[in-house]
C-alpha cells in the first residue's frame, strides 16, 4: 500500500496529483494543505484513502506536526513526498528585477519567494525524511520549473518573474545537496521536476493577463517554435507520474522536465 504525501494539495497541480493517485484504492494519500477547513475540493472527491492534514510550509511547526500525523496514518513510513506547495508569481510577475516600483517591494518578493520555495521545502524534507528513509521506495520530488533553468532564460530572453525563477533555481541546488548526502547511503532518491507550462487558472483571464501571456508565449517560441499551448493539469501530472515511476537511483539529484529530459516545454 504505497503512501504519498503532497504539499499544496488543495488546488492546481497538487490537487491533480491527489485526484489521480487516490484513484487507486491501495494508495494512502496524505493531502497537506494550509487550511483543511477550506479544502472542499478534496472532500468532494469522497475517497476514503485521502487524509487531509494541515501543513503550511512557511510555518515549520505545522510541518513537523503534519509529519507526526502522517506517521500515524502510514504506520511510521512514507514512500513518496511530493513538494508541490510554492509561492507563485503575483501581480508583479510581469516585472523584471529593475522595474519594481520600489527597492522595498523587490526585497519583499525576493525574501518571500526564497522563504517559501527554498527554506520551506528544506524544512518539509527534513520533517518527512525519517519516514521516507523507512520506506522501500524512498522518493522525494520537488516541483520546480523550467524557467529556473539559466539556459532557457538566456535563450528565450525571459527576463520577468525574477523572484520566483531565482528561488526555483536555488531549490534545484537543494535537491542536489540532499542527493549528494544520501546517494552513498543508497537513497532516498531526490528529483527536481518541472511540470511544463501548465494552465491552472480557474477563472477567465483578464485583458492584462492575456497581454502578459502573449508576451510570454513570444519568448518561449524562441526556445521551441513548435510549442503550441500550455498543458492541462491532467496532462502535466500524467507525464510527471511516469517520470517519477521510472526514476532510477543514478538519477538522484537531477533536474528533469515532465518529459524525463531537459525539454522544458
- Catalytically active residues are 164, 168
| DSSP-derived secondary structure for 230-263 | PBPHHHHHHHHHHHHHT--GGGTTEEE-TTSSS-
Q: Is 209 exposed, middle or buried (0-12, 13-18, 19+ CB in 10 A)?
A: middle
Residue in this structure with the C-alpha cell 539529484, named with its chain if needed: 253
Q: Is 71 exposed, middle or buried (0-12, 13-18, 19+ CB in 10 A)?
A: middle
Beta bridge partners of 30: 5, 51
How far is residue 129's CA from residue 139's CA, in Å, rounded to a whole number?
10
List alpha helices for the chain, DSSP H: 12-21, 40-44, 60-73, 103-114, 121-133, 150-156, 162-182, 207-223, 233-245
Neighbouring C-beta atoms of residue 159, cutoff 10 Å: 14
Neighbouring C-beta atoms of residue 224, cutoff 10 Å: 14
Amino acid at each position: 500500500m504505497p503512501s504519498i504525501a503532497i504539499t499544496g494539495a488543495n488546488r492546481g497541480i497538487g490537487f491533480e496529483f491527489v485526484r489521480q493517485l487516490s484513484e487507486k484504492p491501495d494508495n494512502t494519500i496524505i493531502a497537506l494543505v494550509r487550511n483543511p477547513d477550506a479544502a472542499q475540493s478534496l472532500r468532494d472527491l469522497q475517497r476514503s484513502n485521502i487524509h487531509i492534514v494541515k501543513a503550511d510550509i512557511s510555518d515549520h511547526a505545522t510541518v513537523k506536526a503534519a509529519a507526526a500525523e502522517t506517521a500515524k496514518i502510514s504506520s511510521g513510513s512514507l514512500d513518496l513526498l511530493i513538494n508541490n506547495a510554492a509561492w507563485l508569481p503575483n501581480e508583479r510577475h510581469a516585472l523584471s528585477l529593475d522595474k519594481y516600483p520600489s527597492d522595498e517591494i523587490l526585497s519583499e518578493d525576493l525574501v518571500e519567494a526564497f522563504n517559501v520555495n527554498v527554506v520551506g521545502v528544506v524544512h518539509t524534507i527534513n520533517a518527512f525524511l525519517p519516514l521516507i528513509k523507512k520506506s522501500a521506495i524512498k522518493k522525494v520530488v520537488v516541483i520546480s520549473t523550467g524557467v529556473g533553468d539559466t539556459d532557457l532564460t538566456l535563450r528565450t530572453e525571459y527576463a520577468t518573474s525574477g523572484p520566483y525563477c531565482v528561488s526555483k533555481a536555488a531549490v534545484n541546488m537543494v535537491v542536489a545537496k540532499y542527493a549528494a548526502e544520501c546517494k552513498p547511503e543508497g537513497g532516498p532518491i531526490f528529483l527536481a521536476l518541472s511540470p511544463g507550462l501548465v494552465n491552472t487558472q480557474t477563472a477567465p483571464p483578464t485583458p492584462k493577463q492575456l497581454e502578459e501571456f502573449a508576451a510570454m508565449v513570444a519568448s518561449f517560441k524562441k526556445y521551441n517554435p513548435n510549442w503550441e499551448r500550455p498543458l492541462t493539469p491532467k496532462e502535466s501530472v500524467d507525464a510527471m507520474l511516469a517520470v517519477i515511476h521510472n526514476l532510477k537511483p543514478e538519477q538522484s539529484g537531477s533536474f528533469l522536465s515532465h518529459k524525463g529530459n531537459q525539454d522544458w516545454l
